[in-house]
Structure formats: C-alpha cells, structure tokens
A and B are shown apart, each in its own frame.
Chain A
C-alpha cells in the first residue's frame, strides 16, 4: 500500500523543493549516486547527469521539457552488473517502462536501482528546445509545459498521445497533477524499497501521512481523456497514411538509412545491429543484380527492410517515447508508425510494454495450446 506525504514548497519554487528532496535521497547511506536530467558545466541542453556530490544538486532539472535522450539505455549501462548500494534514478514514465523491458532482456537489473518517477509534464522536441534556447525551466516562455493544455502544439506528438504520464512501477513517485505545486508536492513510497528509503530521510522532510488529494484523480482522468482523443486521431491518420505498399514506401521516401531512429530507441536491444554487419555490406555485383532484375533500384537500399525488421524486433516492446521521431533528420513521423503497430501487436499478445516486470516478453515464451488459428491453409 502506497504511503503518501507532502513536501512544503518554499518560495513558490517546486523545482528547488524537488532538488532538496533528491539531495536528501543522495545523502542516504545506501544511495551511491543520482541519475537525473540536468545541466553540467556550460551545457545548455538538459542531459542525464550522474551526480555524486550532493552539493551539485542544483545541476538537476528534472522538470525541464527538454528530452534529448531516453535514459533507459543509460540506466541499463549503470545497472546491468552488481554494484555496492544503489543508484537512484529520476526517470520519465516512458523511460521507466523501457527500462523494465530491458530488465526482461537481462540488460538491466532493477535490484541495483531506486526509481524515482515524476508525473510527466511532457517534452518538447530537441529542435524546438534549441530554438527557444531556455536556460532553465523557470524561464521558459509561459513557464513549464502546461499539463492542463495537452494541445500545446510544441509538445512532442508522442507526449500528446501518451496515456502513461503518471509513472508506473516507480519505487518513489513525485506527484504534480491535481496539486498546487507552488505550495505542495506529493511524495509517495510505492514499493517496499521506496518506503524504506523515505523512512531514512530527515523527519521534517516527509512528515505526516495523508491521502491523495481528490483533485488529483480528476486531473488525471481529464488529461487521460484528451490524450486518448489525440492518440486515436493520430492512429487513424497514420493508418490511412500507410494502408498500402506504395504508401508505406512514400512514408519513408526521404529516409537516408542513417539509423538514428534505432540508436535513439531505448528498446532496440541488439548489441550489434544486423544492418551494421557484413550481411548488409553488399558487393557492387549485388546492387547491379537488383537493378537488372527490377529495372531500377532506389539507393540507399534496404530502407523498407530496415524499418520492417525494427518493427518485427521491437514493436512488442515499444513504449511510445517518441525519440525515433525526435532524432530523425528528415522529420519522418517514425513514432507514429511504431506506436500504431505496437498497439496492434501488443494487443495481439495481450501484452503491454513496461507494464509489469514479471510479464515475460511474448517471443520468449509460448503455450502449447494457443494461436491455433494461424496454423493451416484454410
């Protein structure tokens, strides 16, 4: 049973309050370091930072709408082998869900982590962030992204279509929705590990236990409804954009096979991508052969093959974080295709990426009596 408490916000500055809270977590004996979005040195962009020195906590900026990388892959690097103590990680809900997928692949060990999830206000594309060149969340035009305005056109499409803005499977939750964050911030210990850690914090930090505010439920329900509406429209548009082979080819017709989308994808799990191996380092003869057989062949080759391979490999684990679209140099709506396909395939296997760490990856298990309808030629 989750334990709910509140932090008092000083000087109407929720960011500073969250920093102080994270600092006290970093000060506990068991926590070795804190992985958190932030700014180190002269960096303008918000990137994941691994903070060891509690006095550097002001580098942390976990509320920023800047989201240049899904940290799940970094969290995996930090946790896949045993360490002394734990690393506390402040992650967005989609990063937590991707990390859960990686843990099923034994590419992360959640036992080495304490996951702190924050109600997600959504993110801007990295390009838009660079444009507004904000130095701090507080100085953004209009302040933080307004979760009450899910139609903010600057929010990434992935965020506008996201139903998972309240972190699932965190050890500790920092709640913002339905709360007047200039006065209070909600803290919940969700797992035993999370509750144990909260017990070790100074008492004045996390005082009385109380209930979730009533306004929170309504805020979450309302936001969910508008997200689902956006998502369904997005699905419909995408479905129509790719309902034939010609249209699929057109969808990717400015793809340059840079594979950025794969690099950015937190759940593209292969240690070495087959498209980087000799298998796809074709001989000149091979190209000539294709050209001869088909009359002409578009280059670079294998574009559709690449995207379909990615669909086959990871659509069951796609968490819809939108990083694939974020990094595409030619602004191809990659996320839209992947989310739509992910919805279909995850539904087919009654699976949901990132929902439950005990739920096995669909292609790693089987039942003797299932999917009998795919067998036969009838």
Chain B
C-alpha cells in the first residue's frame, strides 16, 4: 500500500437542496473531486442509520449526509430527524473503530453550487488526512 490513498466518500444528498446544488455546480462547470459518490435521496430524513453503517463496513472512508437548511426541508422536519440520527451514529461508530469525524452532516441549499464544490474539495482533503477506513484494512471498494 505505498501508492497514494484515493479516498472514497459516499454522499447522501437530498433531492431538493444539495443534489440541486450539485447540479448547479455541474452546469456552472465547477469541478469537484472524483472521490465523491453521490446518492440522491428524497430527503435526509430517509437516510437510515443502517445505510451509513453499511457504507463504512464496505470501506467508505467518509460519509456525508447533506440536505436543506433548517426550515427549508421539503418534508418539513426530515433534516432535524437526520441530525438526531447523525448524533446517535457519532456515538456508536467509534465502537467499530470509525472515528466520528468520518461522518459529516451539512446543509447545502439549492443555490449553493459554489459551496457544494468547496465542501467536496475540503472533504477529500480531510479524508486524506484521516487515511484509509480502518474497517477495510486494504480491501477497497473497486474504484
């Protein structure tokens, strides 16, 4: 494992805000790193903690959940519920050796294309700093 670490970051993004921001970043020709895999969900409130646990067990180096700002959720309060679940996961992931910093939650609104691109770049910098997910210990999701 001497070659440079290519971190893999899984991002659950809500259809109405962060995914739209990603789209905007694309149409504005703002680049973001290829290390990010976007999974579009209707709302952050539907991201089951199981998805996140599974992602880490399969070797994701970081997981991002990103949706609408407080008050903007299209299902009224999905993002508030997501925030509690993230709080819970940050308590239990360290049990399997996953540092809590590997899980992130952000609010990125539909018009925040620039912020989307910046956030993704910053996450890759962080993921490089944390190094490979201790769970996978060499076994990578095929890139």
The CA of A359 and the CA of B139, in the complex, are separated in Å by 44
- Is there an interface contact between A308 and B92, defined as CB atoms closer than 8 Å? yes
**Contacts beyond the supplied A295-B139, A312-B50, A341-B91: 6 A-B pairs with Cβ under 8 Å:** A312-B92, A349-B88, A363-B84, A367-B80, A375-B83, A377-B104
Are A366 and B92 in touch, CB under 8 angstroms? no
Q: How far is the CA of A374 from the CA of B85 in the complex (A)?
A: 10
The chain A residues found within 8 Å of chain B, CB to CB, are 242-248, 274, 293-295, 304-305, 308-309, 311-312, 315-316, 337, 341, 344-345, 348-349, 362-363, 366-368, 370-371, 374-377
Contact of B50 among A247, A309, A370 (CB under 8 A): A309
A-side contacts of B137, CB under 8 Å: 245
Q: A245–B97 contact, CB under 8 A?
A: yes
* Binding site secondary structure of chain A: helix
7 contacts between A and B (CB under 8 A): A245-B97, A248-B97, A304-B57, A309-B49, A363-B84, A368-B80, A377-B106
Residues of A within 8 A of B90 (CB): 374
Contact yes or no, A309 B53, CB < 8 A: yes
Residue of B nearest to A247 (CB): B97
Query: Is B77's CB under 8 angstroms from A366's CB?
Result: yes
The interface residues of chain B lying within 8 Å CB-to-CB of A295 are: 139
Closest A-B pairs by Cβ, 9 of them: A245-B97, A366-B80, A294-B139, A312-B49, A245-B134, A244-B97, A371-B87, A308-B53, A345-B91
Q: Do B83 and A371 touch across chains, with their CB atoms under 8 A apart?
A: yes
Please tell me which one of the listed residues A244, A374, A377 contacts residue B119 in the complex, with CB atoms under 8 A apart. Answer: A377
Shortest Cβ gap from A11 to chain B (Å): 52
Q: Report A-chain residues with C-beta under 8 Å of the C-beta of B96.
A: 245, 248, 304, 308
Nearest A residue to B101 via CB reads A377
Residue of A nearest to B139 (CB): A294
| B60 interface residue per 8 A CB criterion | no
Residues A377 and B80 in contact, CB atoms below 8 Å apart: no
Tell me the complex Cα distance, A23–B142, Å. Answer: 67
Beta-carbon contact of A293 and B142 below 8 Å: yes
- CB <8 Å contact, A344 and B91: yes
Contacts of A363 in B (CB 8 A): 81, 84-85, 88
What separation, in Å, do the CA atoms of A368 and B79 have in the docked complex? 10
Q: Which B residues are within 8 Å of any A CB, using their own CB? A: 49-50, 53-54, 57, 70-71, 77, 80-81, 83-92, 95-98, 104-107, 119, 122-123, 126, 134-135, 137, 139, 141-142
Which B residue's beta carbon lies closest to that of A376? B106
Across the two chains, which residue of chain A brings its CB closest to B133?
A245
Complex Cα distance, B126 from A243, in Å, reads 23
Q: Which residues of A contact B141 (CB under 8 A)?
A: 293
Known: A293-B141, A366-B80. A375 touches B106 (CB 8 A): yes
- Interchain CB contact (< 8 A) of A368 among B70, B87, B126: B70
Minimum distance in angstroms from A290 CB to a CB of chain B = 9
B107: chain A residues within 8 A (beta carbon): 375
Smallest CB gap from A295: residue in B: B139
- Least CB distance from A300 to B in Å reads 14
Q: With a CB–CB cut-off of 8 A, which chain A residues contact B54?
A: 305
Which of A244, A293, A312 sits near B139, CB closer than 8 Å?
Answer: A293
Which residues of chain B are within 8 angstroms of A344 by Cβ–Cβ distance?
A: 91-92
Q: Which of chain B's residues have a CB closer than 8 A to the CB of A348?
A: 87-88, 91
Known: A242-B95, A366-B81, A368-B80. A312 touches B89 (CB 8 A): yes
Residues of A within 8 A of B142 (CB): 293
Contact A315 B105 (CB under 8 A): no
Which of B53, B95, B104 counts the most A-chain CB atoms under 10 A from its CB? B95
Instruction: Please give, as numbers and ranges, the residues of chain B lying within 8 Å of A370 by CB-CB distance.
Output: 83
Shortest CB–CB separation between residue B79 and chain A, in angstroms?
9
Which residues of A lie under 8 Å from residue B126 when comparing CB positions?
A: 377
Contacts of A376 in B (CB 8 A): 104-106
Bound state CA distance, A375 and B71, in angstroms? Answer: 15
The smallest beta-carbon distance between A346 and chain B, in angstroms, is 10
Which of the residues B85, B95, B139 comes within 8 Å of A311, measured between beta carbons?
B95
**Distance between Cα atoms of A302 and B97 in the complex (Å):** 17
Residue of A nearest to B80 (CB): A366
With a cutoff of 8 Å between Cβ atoms, the chain A residues found around residue B53 in the complex are: 305, 308-309, 312
State in angstroms the CA–CA spacing of A293 and B123 once bound together: 25
Contact status A312-B104, CB under 8 Å = no
Q: Which residue of A lies closest to B86 (CB)?
A: A374
Smallest beta-carbon distance B123→chain A, Å: 6
